[in-house]
Structure 1
């Protein structure tokens, strides 16, 4: 599965905001982004496919995606979509928390640390020490920006990365758990199910794209 990076979209990473109008005349394979995407259907129809299932789209429909979420389009007919892209530094604007503007620098730093190394043995105390804040103060700042605690944010990152690996690779589920920081298979399954409502096995069976068999007559 292809992942679109911030550097692919934003001309200036200091101002991570961009938009484009797309005419989509063919299926769009499942992919993910390293940033927020808001897609507004201007014209036409399609079926939007994501971890939440399939949804028919027509003019006026809106799709909102967090960083790491995968999605794609099928059955496109005259589809025209206006996409807005927002970097993770403007998370506070989407969450409606606080006043418009970038999150506290320590929160930005904490987010980037978590995103950069999912396998680290992160605890609240370790993360707070890394950004030079008291644990309780970090939780308050982080929750004000992201509407979740740092550890809940980490679990979401791990679940979304695991979801991508389940779809884009043949790796065993236990290996995927280790790669995202959940080395215990039972714990990994519980955390994944808590996020998506499905076991990793069921998620892979449900959402992995079917690859056509070119050898079939």
Structure 2
């Protein structure tokens, strides 16, 4: 699929795309109830009913009806050099065999998105993951484009909003350990969006930003919201 972005003059038909393996999302819902009268310890408060999305990923092969459920995933994390997280991941990468339970994704408090971390690998050069575009086929004065692979909290001035292809999600955020804190709403760009960088910005990492913990002094080094991982794309939009 990486070849699709290398030639802007080539026209791709829908039936041609079916010749490639693809990942299909299957989404179901389960009913949940928030027992507010119990959590707030205030009898008489109404319970809140809501649905919880359950997402599974399946690999669809070229052959018709060939579907395989995917249970092994790679997660990409962008970290600053010599940061606490970078040092921790570097130490974990030296382990020959890992079996570390972790939660990656939403609704972790409900027991979902539970994974077992089996291996940590450092990518020395981010260009190893980028789509390669030959110099002679590059578009002159082309703005850099990136595929977003995570939950990106954008630095608004670093993006070309008009040229980007974005899907934005919003959710409530409230620290678990603070009972009387007002919940906050945060909006982020979800994975799969195509980000076009503003020409005025020179560094890719400025596209995103972090929110550091300001609530609990016991976790002063924690990041509530971290940088997403971006892969550079070749070709035009």
Structure 1 and Structure 2 fold alike (TM over 0.5): no
TM-score, length basis structure 1: 0.23
**Larger-gyration structure (1/2):** 2
Q: Which has the larger helix fraction?
A: 1
Using structure 2 for the length normalisation, give the TM-score.
Answer: 0.22
